[in-house]
Amino acid sequence: MDIYLSLDKHQHIPFLVTCHFLTCKKCRTKVVTLKKIETISAKQYSTPVSYSDKTLAAIMKQIDSSFSVEEKNTMPHVSMTKWIISGLFILISMVSFGIFAIPELRQGMYALATSVFAIVFTLFCGVFVASNLDYFIKQIETHTFISKGSLG
């Protein structure tokens, strides 16, 4: 355990020490927790501050008085209303077909209707993602960025 403790950050663990950890649950638990501790401790100070941060704005103003942080930090505004309404419309249509369509019609049209609904729903999801791709990319980048936790 002392050999492990003397190692530097991200240093390769010697083979014999690794072998010991594989066979000793006690040490393994300690190492896992110690690693977790190191990650958690560093995470707090690795999280980026928002662009709307006052200090950041103050520094940038001193560097360039015309600098505007708002325009550099724009996460595109996505209106969800039309997507929710159209999504609900598709869902209601699907459920309504199942409940209200007369049995004869339902029998004959079942395969066709479900296929149409499946295609419409897939298209809906596809168009939703494609038209808001920029938003999703920014969201993913922001979260990957933050969750990496070792930006230092």
Q: In this chain, which of 33, 96, 107, 114 binds other proteins, going by CB under 8 A?
A: 33
Ramachandran angles phi, psi of 8, nearest 5°: -80, 175
Residue burial 35-57, b: 16+ Cβ < 10 Å; e: rest: eeeeeeeeeeeeeeeeeeeeeee
DSSP 8-state secondary structure symbol assigned to residue 101: S
CB 97 within 8 A of CB 113: yes
Tell whether residue 10 is a contact of other proteins (CB under 8 A): yes
Comparing CB distances to other proteins, the nearer of 53 and 134 is 53
What type of residue sits at position 89?
F
> Quick one: which of 67, 89, 110, 136 contacts other proteins (CB under 8 A)?
67
Residue 100 touches other proteins, criterion: CB under 8 A: no
**Which range touches other proteins (CB under 8 A), out of 44-52, 89-97, 104-112, 128-136?**
44-52
Report the alpha-carbon distance of residue 88 to residue 86 in Å, rounded.
Answer: 5
The residues that touch other proteins, with contacts defined as CB under 8 A, are: 1-2, 5-6, 8-10, 26, 29-30, 33-34, 36-38, 40-51, 53, 55-56, 58-60, 62-64, 67, 69, 72, 148, 150-152
